[in-house]
Amino acid sequence: MQGMRISDDAPGVEDRLSEAEPHALARVLNRAPSADRTRAMRALPNDKAVWVFGLLEPTNQLDVLQSADENERRRLLHEMEPDDRARMLSFLSDDDAEALLQQLTPDERATTRTVLGYPRHSAGRIMSPEFMRLTPEMSVSDALVAIRAGQKRAETVFVMPVANDDMRLLGTVDLAQIVLASPDMRIADLAERNVPAVSVMDDQEEVARLMKSADLMIVPVVETQDRLVGIITFDDAMEVLEFEEGEDFARSGAAEPVGRPYLSVPVLRLVQSRIVWLSVLAVAASLTVNVLNAFEATLESVVTLALFIPLLIGIGGNAGAQSATTIVRALAIGDVAPRDALRIAWRETRTGFVMGLVISVFAFVLLSFLFDLSIALVVALTLIFICTLAALVGSLMPVIARVLSIDPAVFSAPFVTTVVDASGLLIYFLVARAVLGV
C-alpha cells in the first residue's frame, strides 16, 4: 500500500483499495500526487470514500472536491461533520467558501456558519453543534429511544450532555450507565454533575490539554449562563494538540508553520515560511560581528583565542537551546506558569553552572596538554560562565514571551542561540583580558 501508485489501468486496484484499512489509505493519499488521489477516491466504494475523505487533510479534501462532479461534491460535503467542514472551508477565500456552502441544505449551512462564526483558535471553532442531548426528567427507556432516533446525526453517543429545555447544562451521562440502569430510572439520577465545561471563546489548546489530562471523551461547550451549544470530542482535541506541537516545532526552528502536508506546499510558500525569521536572525547575528570587531586588538595579540570561538559559541548556543526547549514544553503542557519565573531561573542557572563546570574540567585537562595553561584557564572559565548564562537566558525568554502573549516557541532555540553567541563572545574576551592581561 505504501508504494502503490494508482492508475486507470492498474489490474485489481479497486479490490486493493476496497480492502485497505481507511486510516492507512488516508495516510497514503495525503502524500499522493493530486491525480493519483483523485483516481483512488473515484475507485473506492461510496461508503468507504466518505470515510477516507473525512480523514484527509483539509487541503487534500478541497483538491478532491474540485475534481468531483456536483452530485459527488454534495454527498461528500453532506457527510462531513460541521466542525470538519468549517476547518476545511477556512482554507478558502470567502467567495469560494460561500460557493461550497450553497451546496449544503439550509440546516447544514446554518450549523457550519455557526462554527465558522467563532474566532479561528477558539473552542467554538472545533466544537460540533450536532450532539445528542438528554433531559434530566427522561427515563432510561425514553433516553434509549431518543438515542436510537438521533444517533445518526450526533457526533457521538458514548458520552452525552444532560441539559434542561432552556439548554442549561446540568452534567453528562455515559451510554454504558444508561444501558445498565433500570428502565424507569431518571437520567437526572445517572448524570455526572461535576464535569468540566468550556466556553466557546476558550483557547483550543487549553481545552485539548484539559481533555487529555482529565481523560475526557467529550467536553461540553457553553455560552453565557451555561447554555449548551456544542461538544468537543477527544479526536478533535488530539488534532489540535498535534497541530500546536507541529507549530511549536516549526517555530523552534525559526520557521512559520505551513499548516498543510509538506509535499502539497509550493516552494515559494516554504520560502515565505522561513525567510522572515532567517532575516531577523541574520540581523541579530550582526551583534556577534560587532563584538569581534570591538575586541579585534585582543585577537591580534593572542591569535590562539580565535581557535576556540566556534567551540564556545556552539556549546553556549546548544545549552541555551536545551533550556529554552525544556521550558517551552513545560509551559505548553502546564507544568510551569509565568509566576514560576524565579524558580525556573534559579533551577536553570544551577543546571547551567553544573554543566559548565563539568565540561570546563574536561576542557582544562585536555587543553593544558596542547596549549599554555593560561589559555586553558580562559577557555575553562568561559565555559562555566557561558553555560550558566545560556541556561538562564534560555529559560527566561519563553516565560517573558508568554507574559507578552507571544508564542514562546518563537523565542526558543535559534533566537536564544543568537543572543547567547554575542554575549558569550563578550564574556570570552573579558575573561581573556582579565587572565592574560591583554
Region of poorest pLDDT, from 29-38, 246-255, 418-427: 246-255
Q: What is the pLDDT of residues 286-297, one digit of tens each?
A: 777 777 777 777
Task: Output 192 or 334, whichever has higher pLDDT.
Answer: 192
Query: What pLDDT is attached to residue 390?
Result: 93
In three-state secondary structure terms, 429 is helix
Single-letter amino acid, residue 190: L
Query: What pLDDT is attached to residue 352?
Result: 94
* Nearest alpha carbon to residue 175 among 195, 151, 157, 154: 157
Q: Is the pTM of this model over 0.75?
A: no
Instruction: Write out the H or E segment, with its range, that includes residue 160.
Output: strand 159-163
Which residues, at least 6 apart from 191, have a Cβ–Cβ distance to it below 8 Å? 136, 162, 170, 171, 172, 173
Query: What pLDDT is attached to residue 11?
Result: 43
Q: What is the mean pLDDT of residues 154-159?
A: 85
CA distance 271 to 89: 25
> Is the pLDDT reported for residue 15 higher than 80?
no
Query: What pLDDT is attached to residue 8?
Result: 45
CA 48 to mean position of chain CA atoms: 29
Single-letter amino acid, residue 264: S
Q: What is the mean pLDDT of residues 393-409?
A: 85
Query: What pLDDT is attached to residue 26?
Result: 85
Q: How many C-alpha atoms does 379 have within 13 Å on its Cβ side?
A: 28
Q: What is the mean pLDDT of the chain?
A: 84
Q: How far is CA 39 from CA 11, 25, 438, in A?
A: 14, 13, 73
Q: What is the pLDDT of residues 195-209, one digit of tens each?
A: 899 999 999 988 998
For residue 397, give the C-alpha cell: 525568554
Q: What is the mean pLDDT of residues 168-186?
A: 93
* Nearest alpha carbon to residue 232 among 217, 245, 242: 217
Q: What is the pLDDT of residues 79-117, one digit of tens each?
A: 888 888 998 998 888 888 888 999 888 888 998 999 999
* Nearest alpha carbon to residue 211 among 191, 231, 187: 231
CA distance 276 to 128: 36
Query: What pLDDT is attached to residue 213?
Result: 85
Neighbours of 214 (CB within 10 A): 10
CA 64 to mean position of chain CA atoms: 25
Q: What is the pLDDT of residues 329-381, one digit of tens each?
A: 888 777 888 999 999 999 999 999 999 999 999 999 999 988 889 999 999 99
Instruction: Kindly tell me the sign of the dihedral angle through the C-alpha atoms of 180, 237, 89, 31.
Output: negative
Query: What pLDDT is attached to residue 339?
Result: 92
CA distance 340 to 198: 25
Query: What pLDDT is attached to residue 197?
Result: 92
Q: What is the mean pLDDT of residues 139-155?
A: 85
Render 228-278 in DSSP notation, one character per residue. Answer: EEEEEEHHHHHHHHHHHHHHHHHHHTT-----S-GGGS-HHHHHHHHHHHH
> Is the pLDDT reported for residue 382 higher than 90?
yes
Kindly state the percentage of the chain with pLDDT values over 70: 88
Q: What is the pLDDT of residues 212-264, one digit of tens each?
A: 888 899 999 999 888 999 999 998 898 888 887 777 666 666 666 666 666 66
Domains and CATH numbers, the chain: 13-118 (1.25.60.10), 140-251 (3.10.580.10), 266-436 (1.10.357.20)
Query: What pLDDT is attached to residue 18?
Result: 64
> Is the pLDDT reported for residue 52 higher than 50?
yes
